[in-house]
Amino acid sequence: MPHEPVELPESDSLTPSSPLQPARYQVNEGKRAFAPNRRWGLVLGGLALIAGFFLVQVYGRVRAREALREELLARYDAEATPTAAEVRTFIGRLNGWITLAGREQPPPETFAADGFRWSEMHDWRGLYLRIEAEHTRDPEAIAASAREMSRDAITRCLGVSPVSARGLYDLARFLEPAWAEGLRTEDDTMRLRVLEDEMNRRLSRDVPLVRSMLRSHYFLLVVTRGGRGEGVVDAYVWDLERDQLLMSLRTRANGRLIPVRIGEGRGPWPSELDLGRSGAQDCSIAGALRAVAGEAVGIPSEPTVGVEDARP
């Protein structure tokens, strides 16, 4: 049976002559039918909150750091700056004597002021510095050498107990303007905390000690030329209150080590290496200092006093 043609309804979408139309968002019950469902407003708001949180944290840390800096600078100005001016003046006075004593010509004369006695200086506050002559040319070299000064037996053999000037020159670095400038330019909070700890120690322990040094009665200076054991030694004592020389001389160490045992000893006898020669040399120098002041030494060692032509 033959098929009869079927007539289809006309439609624009099926008409070949109709142009193609692009897809459009269609609203279905208030929502987009196939658009990406991203809540950009919420995302941006969350990012803004996170950024604000970090900005608040950074600002708080900056404010805390600046508050700490202001506190440290205020304490430094109140407790350290007044002492700094006195220390600089005092050290400048000492450096003048040290530089003058470090010159090779002329050698110091053998001299002791009338009435000067070491035996009467037990209760005097004093300062002591031992330095090699080649380190006395400028204040920086003097300070560096003073900070490295090792202990010796000269003052113990003299029977006096002056304070080492090493502490004075060491604290001077804390009192220099460069230290406070470091507080002003430091941007690391942890580093500021370290500086705070150092400042607390300096202010509570070192500053009172240095202020007592500023009230010392005398300054004992020993200038070595080629070492105190082999070379010549120049010694000076200044009255800090009257700003005058009390004693001076040039000598050489020529002490002899005499081991002494009291009572019956059962232990091994110490060798000369164990006892060391430096103590004997230091006591020889001390003996020369006492002899200039007219005070006898315990065991005569014929110290060389006033060696005018001695050279390292």
**Residues near 176 by Cβ (< 8 Å), separated by ≥ 6?**
84
3-state secondary structure of 78: helix
The pLDDT > 70 percentage for the chain reads 68
Are 249 and 292 within 8 A, CB to CB? yes
C-alpha torsion angle, residues 174, 149, 160, 210 (rounded to 10):
0
The listed range with the strongest mean pLDDT (10-19, 23-32, 45-54, 151-160) is 151-160
* Span 159-202, pLDDT tens digits: 899 999 998 998 888 888 888 888 888 888 888 888 889 889 88
Q: Give the residue among 135, 98, 95, 157 at the shortest CA–CA distance from 284.
A: 157
Integer angstrom CA distances of residue 110 from 85, 129, 253, 305, 308: 35, 20, 16, 7, 9
Are 138 and 92 within 8 A, CB to CB? no
* Span 225-271, pLDDT tens digits: 987 777 899 999 999 999 999 999 998 877 554 555 444 444 444 44
Q: Which class for 10: exposed (0-12), middle (13-18), buried (19 or more C-beta within 10 A)?
A: exposed
Q: What is the pLDDT of residue 24?
A: 64
Q: What is the pLDDT of residue 132?
A: 94
Q: Which class for 142: exposed (0-12), middle (13-18), buried (19 or more C-beta within 10 A)?
A: buried
Instruction: In whole angstroms, give the CA distance from residue 3 to residue 6.
Output: 9
Q: Which class for 289: exposed (0-12), middle (13-18), buried (19 or more C-beta within 10 A)?
A: buried
* pLDDT > 50? residue 89: yes
3-state secondary structure of 115: coil
pTM of the model as a whole: 0.69
Q: What is the pLDDT of residue 162?
A: 93
Are 112 and 294 within 8 A, CB to CB? yes
Confidence of residue 153 (pLDDT cuts 50, 70, 90): confident
